[in-house]
Amino acid sequence: MGEETQYGPALPDMAGINRQVPILELARELGLPSGRKITCPECGNKRLTLSPRLNLWRCWNCDPNGERKSPLDLVMFILDLDVYHAAVWIGERWAISSKVQPERTQSERGVSKPVFSRMRRIPVKDKSNPSLPALVTSMGWTRLSSRARLVAVLLFVAAQESEDNTFTISRAGLADWSGIRQSNGSWARINRELEDIGLFAVDRGLGGRLNPKLTTYRLTWWSKRWQSWLDGEAIKDRPLRATSNKVPYSPRLNFPEMEPSVS
């Protein structure tokens, strides 16, 4: 008999976690106080320092002569987890582009050991033209929240069916279509995410008392910003920001008149 291998679910790559998960956001998710210098839950002194520039942390009282530690170490430290379960915890809360496939191999003597191998990315030969495989395998996709990803797919398909790569719909109609509630600021954040990675230009329209406020989305697949995500040239740790893909808030400027639609 040879070795018997069992494959588990994909986990975030350890190096990918330390590179892609912002240390300040991770601290908030762990329930730590806000700020770059906080009270250490281990020693009780306010000497635990978070460095967003390096994406590292360190308690100068517990480990005054040690090295700065990674986001993965912070989860292990706060939740008292091993590296495997700390990676699982982060993977359930962040979309990490790099993945590893855990294997548990059992030898003839019954000895079991975990082995990790990197999963292959989905190959997409042609990214010059808009396609869903190119969208979901891009680096920009990993920067979107789960809500923005859902909206991005719906809008992408709808815009592709039009002749000019645009789609117009009311916010209420898009909320019903996607199942996302119209909570305070939620749609503003989603629209901002789609613009910031260069995938869509968003025209909020003017609206009025008697007419629903329509929003027009124009697919900007060929923008420099989005192409940088496709080519892997975008710097992973730089913050998202407004881009030149934005258009003035006028439904009659740059966009043809379109009827509201929910399908």
For 128-150, what is each residue's pLDDT tens digit? 788 888 888 887 887 888 888 89
pTM score over 0.75 = no
The 10s digit of each residue's pLDDT in 149-163 is 899 999 999 999 888
The structure tokens 């007419």 sit at 211
At 90 the pLDDT is 86
The structure tokens 């039009």 sit at 162
The answer to whether the CB of 22 falls within 8 A of the CB of 56 is: no
Percentages (nearest 5) of helix, strand, coil residues in the chain? 30, 20, 50
At 26 the pLDDT is 92
Sequential DSSP letters for 66-132 = S--B-HHHHHHHHHT--HHHHHHHHHTTS--S-EEEEEEEE-TT--EEEEEEEPPPPP-S--SS--H
158 vs 259: CA distance, rounded Å: 13
At 167 the pLDDT is 93
How high does pLDDT run on average in the chain? 75
Q: In this structure, what token pair is assigned to residue 239?
A: 């913050």
28 vs 75: CA distance, rounded Å: 11
More confident residue, 84 or 236: 84
**Which whole-number Å values give the CA distances from 120 to 99, 117, 123, in the listed order?**
8, 9, 8
**Which whole-number Å values give the CA distances from 222 to 97, 123, 153, 167, 262, in the listed order?**
22, 20, 17, 17, 26
The 10s digit of each residue's pLDDT in 67-80 is 888 998 999 999 98
At 248 the pLDDT is 34
- Which range of 64-68, 123-127, 156-160 scores highest in mean pLDDT? It is 156-160
